[in-house]
């Protein structure tokens, strides 16, 4: 297939003056190199498209692809991860990973928790706090955990995210709302094991790759798989594949959430155990990190002796089932700029 690759490179946005927090989720060149290398080794012809702005320009110029490997995170709004899928849907071009509805829903952790709780899946008690006044109205028992409602890559999560009293809660909520200009999610803190589940496939073909436990060492920030722990994991964080009762519960929960939300191709579900050991849903990443060395889904796959090329092949095979060979003549526009003379 002729496959376009959409993505957001961190270096591009840093040069435009965006901050470390604003660009934390964006990709390094080696990630795009790895994706493209895997695709070409599988026999596909690749075209680097880049950001949504580049995609829009090339679509207007009538360029088309059999499939787009969509790895674009977007920059603005709760729908930022949904923007490329929505644009590709408008032009009838299939793409990897979940559709616009799923991407918008899952980016907002509060909305995701509402949807998952309605499935009957255990989640910690939570409140979405839009402003400082909202933080003062919370009545959940301490300790609590606070994070940006639409952050990724653990951005905004630190040891301070675990709060044990009202004054700490107000301070952390104010700081995160001010820094990230978005509401925060406040949840009951779960003190147990942290498990992440890798999933590949779509619908009835979806399957769990394995369950990985995240273990914090003595030099790690306490309480959570924080931004600092994730980005400086060596000597701080250890990973291990687990196959026990909690892992089985996490795998069952993950598939239930994956299919319940309508996720596609590949991704990751994060879980944590409460004080009694019961597995709870934390969040889902339907656009999981694919850095060849540090992406959690890649780390999990490597520990299961699944190489990068194989994982990319499974993703493309799953997405490829949505590719329908058609004549592209109907896609040609007499007025590509959308303006009538």
Residue 137 within a domain: yes
Q: Do residues 179 and 198 share a domain?
A: no
Q: Output phi, psi for 109, to 5 deg.
A: -65, -30
Q: Do residues 144 and 178 share a domain?
A: yes
Q: Tokens 């012809």 map to which residue?
A: 45
Residue 338 within a domain: no
Q: Which helix (H) or strand (E) holds 303?
A: helix 296-303
Beta bridge partners of 50: 6
Rounded to 10 deg, the angle between the 296-303 and 308-320 helix axes is 110
Residue 93 within a domain: yes
Q: Do residues 179 and 204 share a domain?
A: no
- The Cα 72–Cα 278 span in angstroms is 34
Rounded to 10 deg, the angle between the 109-118 and 100-107 helix axes is 100
Q: Do residues 203 and 303 share a domain?
A: yes
Q: Do residues 269 and 298 share a domain?
A: yes
Residue 336 within a domain: no
Q: Do residues 304 and 207 share a domain?
A: yes
Range of the domain at 140: 125-188
How much is the pLDDT for 326? 58
- The Cα 21–Cα 235 span in angstroms is 23
Residue 312 within a domain: yes
Is the separation of the CB atoms in 318 and 201 below 8 Å? yes
**Of the candidate ranges 50-54, 73-77, 223-227, the one whose mean pLDDT is the lowest:** 223-227
Residues, the chain: 341
| Residue 160 DSSP code | G
How much is the pLDDT for 218? 85
Average pLDDT of the residues of the chain? 92
Q: In CATH, what number is assigned to the domain containing residue 147?
A: 3.30.1490.20
* pLDDT over 90, % of the chain: 80
Q: Which helix (H) or strand (E) holds 144?
A: strand 144-148
**Of the candidate ranges 26-35, 42-51, 196-205, the one whose mean pLDDT is the lowest:** 26-35
> Terminal CA-to-CA distance of the chain, rounded, Å?
37
From 188, 203, 224, the end of a domain falls on: 188
Residue 315 within a domain: yes
Q: Do residues 183 and 201 share a domain?
A: no
- The Cα 331–Cα 283 span in angstroms is 38
From 133, 166, 188, the end of a domain falls on: 188
Q: Do residues 241 and 168 share a domain?
A: no
Q: Which helix (H) or strand (E) holds 17?
A: none
Is the separation of the CB atoms in 67 and 319 below 8 Å? yes
Taking alpha carbons only, the member of 194, 192, 195, 172 closest to residue 184 is: 172
Q: Which helix (H) or strand (E) holds 176?
A: helix 166-180
Residues 78-126 pLDDT 10s: 999 999 999 999 999 999 999 999 999 999 999 999 999 999 999 999 9
Q: Do residues 169 and 278 share a domain?
A: no
For the chain, how many structural domains are there in total? Answer: 3
């Amino acid at each position: 297939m002729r496959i376009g690759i959409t993505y957001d490179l961190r270096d591009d946005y840093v040069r435009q003056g965006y901050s470390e927090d604003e660009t934390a989720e964006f990709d390094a060149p080696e990630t795009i190199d790895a994706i493209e290398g895997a695709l070409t080794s599988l026999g596909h012809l690749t075209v680097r498209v880049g950001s949504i702005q580049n995609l829009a320009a090339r679509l207007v110029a009538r360029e088309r692809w059999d499939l787009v490997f969509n790895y674009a995170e977007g920059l603005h709004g709760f729908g930022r991860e949904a923007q490329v899928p929505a644009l590709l849907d408008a032009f009838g071009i299939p793409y990897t990973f979940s559709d616009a509805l799923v991407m918008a829903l899952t980016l907002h952790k509060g909305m995701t928790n509402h949807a998952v709780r309605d499935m009957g899946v255990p989640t910690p008690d939570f409140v979405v706090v839009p402003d400082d006044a909202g933080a003062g109205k919370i009545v959940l028992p301490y300790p609590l955990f606070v994070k940006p409602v639409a952050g990724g890559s653990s951005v905004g999560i630190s040891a301070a995210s675990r709060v044990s009293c009202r004054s700490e809660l107000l301070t952390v909520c104010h700081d995160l709302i001010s820094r990230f200009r978005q509401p925060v999610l406040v949840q009951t803190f779960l003190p147990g094991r942290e498990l992440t589940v890798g999933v590949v496939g779509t619908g009835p073909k979806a399957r769990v790759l394995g369950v990985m436990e995240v273990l914090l060492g003595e030099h790690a920030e306490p309480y959570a798989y924080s931004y600092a722990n994730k980005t400086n994991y060596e000597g701080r964080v250890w990973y291990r594949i687990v196959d026990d009762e909690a892992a089985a519960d996490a795998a069952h929960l993950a598939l239930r959430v994956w299919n319940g939300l309508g996720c596609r191709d590949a991704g990751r579900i994060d879980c944590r155990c409460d004080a009694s050991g019961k597995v709870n849903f934390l969040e889902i990443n339907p656009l999981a990190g694919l850095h060849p060395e540090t992406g959690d889904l890649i780390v999990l796959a490597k520990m299961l002796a699944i190489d990068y090329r194989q994982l990319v092949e499974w993703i493309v095979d799953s997405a490829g089932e949505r590719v329908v060979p058609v004549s592209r003549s109907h896609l040609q526009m007499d007025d590509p700029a959308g303006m009538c003379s």
